[in-house]
Structure 1
Amino acid sequence: MTEKTPAELRTQRAQLIASTGLTEAVLRERAEAFQLYPEHMDAWTTVEGIDYLLDGAEKDTALSEAEALAGRWEEKYFEMVEKYTPLAVQAAVLREWLPVLRRAVEELPAKCRYHDDTTPHGTWREACCDSGVPARRRALAEQALNALDQTKETS
């Protein structure tokens, strides 16, 4: 696969149009009326493909710049929230959401359908088997919630 920069594509586009001996406007009019020689039609089709690629490249560049800017603003927002939100408010939010999280975790099965032990076997498995994954995740989530409860009680 050949990769070209937008500048190279623009140069190729200009060369294709010049090779026909016609202007871009004349090429467009004749292409719309199906009045081009086959070699000119091939050149025009290639020009349209280059235009499509250039439009996509410009949109991708603008989109990636916008996403980067949004990401920086989001980071700044969360930094400000963390910096200026009092610890008492953060603790209140945590106390409010812990019961909800506990209810969600309780919806997961407590043990595997096939095994009582859900510990991972080897380094590549998350649990005893595919059926044990939800039970293993429940156990880990309960450990995390208990740790949060302990930090809540000490503060």
Structure 2
Amino acid sequence: MTAKTPEGLQAQRAQLIASTGLTEEVLRKRAEAFQLYPEHADAWSTVEGIDYLLNDAEKDTALTEAQALAGRWEEKYFEMVEKYTPVAQRDAALQSHLPALRRAVETLPAKCMYHDETHPHGTWREACCDTGVPARRRALAEEALNALTKEKTA
């Protein structure tokens, strides 16, 4: 498979239309009426395929640009929230969410169902086995929540 730039596809499209000896409008009308010679029909179907690819490429670039713009707006939003939300208000919001976070953490198993442990094995394994991973993550989340509550009460 070869990759072509949109400019290369445009050039190929123009060359195909010129090779038929007809204008694009005449080709389109005859194709709609099924009045094309086989070689012209082949050229027209290739032109339609090129048009599809060009439209798809335009949509991809528009989508990428929109996603980048949304990402920049999101960054700006969070920057503004951080800048203008008072620290006390953020702390109060965190304190109001701590019970819900604790309840969510408590839904995770406390121990591995097979090994009754949660410690990691070396640097390549997060827990004793796959069933121990949620237990290990619960232990880490509890440590983080405890650190947050100690920090707020101190």
Question: TM-score when scaled to structure 1?
Answer: 0.94
Q: Which residue is 1:56 aligned to? A: 56
CA deviation string 1:65-97 (max 9, x = no partner): 111111111111110110111010000001000
CA deviation string 1:105-129 (max 9, x = no partner): 0001100110122222232222111
Structure 2: which 5+ runs fail to align? Answer: none
Amino acid at match of 1:6: P
Distance of 1:123 and 1:48 partners within structure 2: 55
Q: Which residue is 2:5 aligned to? A: 5
Q: Which residue is 1:106 aligned to? A: 106
Amino acid at match of 1:62: A
Q: Which residue is 1:21 aligned to? A: 21
Alignment map for 1:58-73 (pairs within 5 Å): 58-73=58-73
Q: How many residues align?
A: 154
The DSSP-based 3-state class of the residue aligned with 1:61 is helix
- Please provide the CA RMSD for this pair: 1.1
How far residue 6 of structure 1 moved from its aligned partner, in angstroms, is: 1.1
Amino acid at match of 1:9: L
Question: TM-score when scaled to structure 2?
Answer: 0.95
How far residue 62 of structure 1 moved from its aligned partner, in angstroms, is: 1.2
Distance of 1:147 and 1:129 partners within structure 2: 27
Between the two proteins, what is the percent identity of the paired residues? 79
Distance of 1:34 and 1:148 partners within structure 2: 73
Deviating beyond 3 angstroms after TM superposition, the runs of 4 or more aligned structure 1 residues are none
Distance of 2:150 and 2:9 partners within structure 1: 62
Distance of 1:125 and 1:32 partners within structure 2: 63
Alignment map for 1:83-122 (pairs within 5 Å): 83-122=83-122
CA deviation string 1:4-24 (max 9, x = no partner): 111111111111000011111
Matched, 1:132 2:132: yes
Q: Which residue is 2:42 aligned to? A: 42
